[in-house]
Amino acid sequence: MEPTSCPGLITLFVLIQIDASAATSKLLKPDSNSSFTVKADISTTRLLRTSSAVDNKDETRTGISISVLERIKTLALPSKITPEKLQGTLHGWLNKRKSADIVFKRLRLDQEDGVQVFFNPLFARWVQYTDDLNAKTPGISAISTLTKHYGEEKLVKLIDTAMGIRHMKDIASKLEEQQIQRWVAARKDPDKVFRLYSLHELEAETMFRSTNFAVWVKYMDEVNAKYPEAPMLMIPTLAKYFPDHVILTKMAAAPKNEKGIRRIAIQLEDERLRTWLHSRKTPDMTLFDLGFTQATDTLVDNPLFKIWLKYMNTYNARYPDKTKMMKEFTQTYGDADATKILHVMESKDTTRSIATELANAQLNMWLNGRKSTDAVFTLLKLDTDAQHFRDKYLLNTWVSYLNSFILKNPDTEAALFTSLGTRLDDRPMNKILNLANEFPSMKSFATAIQNEKIQGYHVQKKSPDDVFDLLAIDFVGDKVLGTPLFQSWLNYWKVYNVQNSNTHYWFTKLRMEYGSNGIDRMIDQAMQNPSTVEMGNMVQKAWVKQWLDWGKSPSATFQFLGLNSGVQPLSSPKFNIWAKYLDDFNGRYHEHKITMIDALMDHFSEYKLLPMFNAAKSDPNTEKLAANLQNALINKWFDKKINPDDLLQRLHNVEGANELIQRYRTKLKDVSVPGNAA
């Protein structure tokens, strides 16, 4: 049987002249000045088949199925077509609801190789055609046809490439959004989308900052917005390729000024906390999996530990059994490291109360387990540092257990302390006694032992500095001035100096051991308790005397006393200390003499001083001081011959400035300074 011929359609090469300049024209917008050229090279043997061979079935080429008839019509376009003609043709197709797949073929876009399709001037017109078709027949999108033609994986890469080309970015962005919406409608598996962008092949640092990661996050946001009743989380996908500590570390390090990244970081953190809680993951294992295989001093500064603290609070609210929790911590970390973790938790306001409860649970766990004080001493690894006890918190925990043990077994107290005395040197023993003094049940016994030791130091004629070390006063901390131990040492110093012609000064040793910051903290601590204010003042005066011996300037001393950061320094008790220091300094160092107003102006501008003086004048205790300082400021202006109009312009909105400047004008007038009269 002879094949049926189609006159006029059998061609080996068809040229349709189309001007590329029309590429950016609107789909249906005519352009009479343009012509189009498209090259088609299609074998007639593929198109001319018998109807029986076709049997009304579609032929599939590169993923898009259209009939042979449509393929023939593709070649039926005139060899030359004007923009008006093309526009009319597109209108006709639109009216006939011609599918996007067919038009894609008719325009021969399927013959473009890869990203080159974006360079074809007809591609933008075809995308616009799909939009117009969608307006008539909802549900149509360019991305559907492109997916059939290229496949998802290749299409994702093509769009990604086009996004990097400036003049293609708009259309690429549009297609990317359509692609996301297509996935949203299908609730596509987040992991599959993640892999389509090859995000699983990247290092964590690169992945989190890639634009494709942002696209994936956008997909997650939009699919969850559409299906809020069954949200999909990001964490399960990320956890397939990156461990928790890597994910959360990178997110915690996200710059706070990059809002997009910070939002993702917060979202991922929230997701991870929820998934941990849902799976009832215990805090100890969570901490371990975050990379904290042992407790270290850097825990508190690690951003992951801060995340863990949040989880600890959440877990505790849901599962408040502290005994069980403490056992789990101990099993994972051992007694010593578990105790150190509690110490870090106690340093944070958000977890302090939980840490206290866990610490009590720890003591009860040991008691209920019938652990001896020696056994716990070893569990806390204090036996490896018995000459120093460098970790105060571990020692404090053991002394707390010693107290609990004695309360439960009161007849063992004498034997326990006697045993300690035979095993430990004086300094480590006194560290234990200093801590024991804080517990009412052990205070009398501990004090008696220390008093006996001090008497022995007298007999041995040990220097106050040596006794300070032996009594481990440097180990006490900021509350040292309120302890009987410190008073006992001062008494020892007095007796020793009487017997040895004042060879030692108590403050020198205190400063050497505690340092400047430590001295400041102990003074502040003492000033908060009426029973220790006198001791605090004594140390403060000694500290100021030391500054004077060093020749510290009054301006520097003003700052050391913290007066430069106060709202109203003139009413501070420390101001009187400073004022005396100023007088003493000027009396000793005549060549560096400085006035009070000059020292104040080293720290405050006139803009701040004037309101300060006004406030002080309303207080009877500082009224005279404020008046003197105002006069001193006027005299300073006078000495510098400052124009009062300049002052008024600079200080016009400062409370009290007008009155003070007027007084200055009067002074200028009274002395008749040329050029400065009002």
- How is 435-490 classified by DSSP, letter by letter? HHTTSHHHHHHHHHHHHHHHHHHHHHT--HHHHHHHTTGGGT-TTGGGSHHHHHHH
pTM for this predicted structure: 0.71
**Residues with Cβ within 8 Å of residue 675, at least 6 apart in sequence:** none
pLDDT single digits (tens) 561-585: 989 986 789 999 899 999 999 999 9
Q: According to the model, what pLDDT value does residue 585 have?
A: 96
Radius of gyration of the chain (CA): 43
Above 60 in pLDDT, residue 514?
A: yes
| Lookup: tokens for 324 | 């069980």
DSSP states along 635-678:
HHHHHHT--HHHHHHHHTTSTTHHHHHHHHHHHHHHHT-TT---
Among 86, 178, 111, 87, CA closest to 140: 178
Above 80 in pLDDT, residue 11?
A: no
* Position 64 confidence tier, pLDDT thresholds 50, 70, 90: low
pLDDT single digits (tens) 191-225: 999 999 999 999 998 998 899 999 999 999 999 99
Q: According to the model, what pLDDT value does residue 359 have?
A: 97
| Lookup: tokens for 585 | 């300094």
Strand partners, 59: 66
Kindly state the average pLDDT of the residues 352-356: 94
- Average pLDDT of the chain is 86
Above 80 in pLDDT, residue 80?
A: no
* Position 74 confidence tier, pLDDT thresholds 50, 70, 90: low
CB distance 130 to 140 below 8 Å: yes
Above 90 in pLDDT, residue 179?
A: yes
* Position 647 confidence tier, pLDDT thresholds 50, 70, 90: very high
pLDDT single digits (tens) 538-552: 999 999 999 999 999
Q: According to the model, what pLDDT value does residue 220 have?
A: 96
CB distance 393 to 337 below 8 Å: no
Above 50 in pLDDT, residue 678?
A: no
Kindly state the average pLDDT of the residues 1-10: 40
Above 80 in pLDDT, residue 104?
A: yes
Above 70 in pLDDT, residue 517?
A: yes
CB distance 337 to 362 below 8 Å: no
Alpha-carbon gap, residue 618 to 616, rounded angstroms: 5
CB atoms within 10 A of CB 63: 14
